[in-house]
Amino acid sequence: MEGETMAETVPGKVGHALISVSDKRGLDSFARRLHQLGIVLYSTGGTRSFLESNGIPVLDIAAYTGFPEVMDGRLKTLHPKIFGGILARRDRTGDQAVMEEHQIVPFDLVVVNLYPFQETVAREGVTVGEAIEQIDIGGPSLLRAAAKNHAWVSVVTDPSDYDRVAGELEQRGVVAFETRRRLAGRCYAHTAAYDAAIAEYFRGLERSQEDAVGTAEGQWPEKMELSLHRVAELRYGENPHQPAAVYRLGSIPGALVDAKQLHGKELSYNNLLDLESALSISHGFAQPAAVVIKHNNPCGAAVGHKLYWACRKAFAGDPVSAFGGIVGLNRMVDAQTAQFLCEPGLFVEAVVAPEFSREAMEILTTKPKWRDSVRLMATGNWTQDRQEIEYRFLRGGVLVQHADRGNSDPSQWRAVTEVPMADELMEDITFAWEMVRHVKSNAIVLATDASLVGVGAGQMSRVDSVEIAIQKAGERSRGSVLASDAFFPFPDSIDKAAAAGVVAIIQPGGSRKDEEVIAACNRHRIPMLFTGHRHFKH
């Protein structure tokens, strides 16, 4: 009778296991423990060869189904004798009768992880054809089937679960229902993340096509899938009473979440926020560059012909605020730069750079004040896509935008004052305009010698930011250039800048009072450029 309980079945007991994995970490030990428990193992091509090479008995899926692997491995597990063995309800006489009639083996344990699609598309130069071949078909189907029937079947997608599953079978003879249900949830998260990565890849292809044919930007898909993979749990969030973790979103070469921590204490939530800012700013420059971050704003930044010199200039920008800051560098840290960072009076919480030389590591990890605490983060090669997507989470929603990249082409800037911009000021003007995009609005920066000397950030009025930047710069205001992330609503900021000795200004323009602002610059004989692009950072 349909629905009748089969007394001989035991939920969670494992007699037969199907194993087909691309990630073979820990598989030999896990499979050997299963074999020692008397569990019969079935597997496909590459996984079967791996198990056999490790001396573990395994049966060939193709021999069991009577159908060979074909189409270069595209078709191997999509067969009723496999899915029937996974989906069969052990307490239904009808299901059991079908299994007996068709000689279907009940698979009680399914161990599958998927083709490395995300790793493949992250490689430089990978073709669309290569990416398509890494879209797994049979794997997700096996996983979803096993997870659906978790009342009887255990499904394992992650090598980190091997020990728990084998341990429960060794100690209890079954995998507990709570474990099977947890594994089912992990399985669906795994397949959802996989599908989300594929969907994002195809969205990227669409964006590339739109660029190629000149389609207007701003067309967003109706649905977007975000797949987050936990990298680490953190000690706490912005404050000690807030639990926190860091997750990976996608796969971007040089991303902070994949950086190697070479030295120092555990990273905090605030460290990661500041490190991300330091990384982004320093890699915005082609020349050797250094930036010092404090509370997610740059308090010092500079470029130079050598990393050491850029670093020294960056710390000179605001030495008081730089104490205990986060340092971002866009070149390998060499011994000379490392020696500077260890000078008396300097202390930083963390340094992020593409890599550290052996000499630099020896210097930075043996100095007494660095030995135990300062974090050293190596990101490897960095890529900065001009259409990198940014997400800001709201309560119940998400804001999505292209990151604020590009728009710094000096050929597009417009001189609006009677006094022309002197050629010798262009390096500082260009540097200041690149930096102001990274400061919280209302943002004002003062720069000289391609380095920050004053920053005004996060104020409710622009004139307040001007005053703060001037105060920070002190006497260094004289001869400096000023960049503003948005237009000046009134000419009062120009008057204050002139009194402090500012010699040139760059801003987006677009105020109703632009003519008054231009007139103020003309009175003070200060050249000014309009860029036509705003750089708010909220």
Point out which residues pair with 302 in neighbouring strands: 290, 451
| Residue written as token pair 């909220």 | 538
Q: Is 209 left (phi over 0), alpha (psi -120 to 50) or beta?
A: alpha
Q: Is 451 left (phi over 0), alpha (psi -120 to 50) or beta?
A: beta
CA distance readout (Å), 424 to 366, 420, 421, 508, 528? 43, 12, 8, 21, 14
Cα-Cα-Cα-Cα torsion 241, 247, 252, 256, nearest 10 degrees, comes to 30
Q: How far apart are CA 155 and CA 143, in angstroms?
A: 7
Of 277, 257, 222, 281, residue with least CA distance to 400: 222
Cα-Cα-Cα-Cα torsion 52, 53, 54, 56, nearest 10 degrees, comes to 10
Active site residues: 148, 295
Cα-Cα-Cα-Cα torsion 248, 250, 255, 257, nearest 10 degrees, comes to 10
Of 424, 431, 401, residue with least CA distance to 537: 401
Q: How far apart are CA 47 and CA 40, in angstroms?
A: 15
DSSP 216: P
36, 128 contact by CB (below 8 A): no
Q: How far apart are CA 245 and CA 266, in angstroms?
A: 12
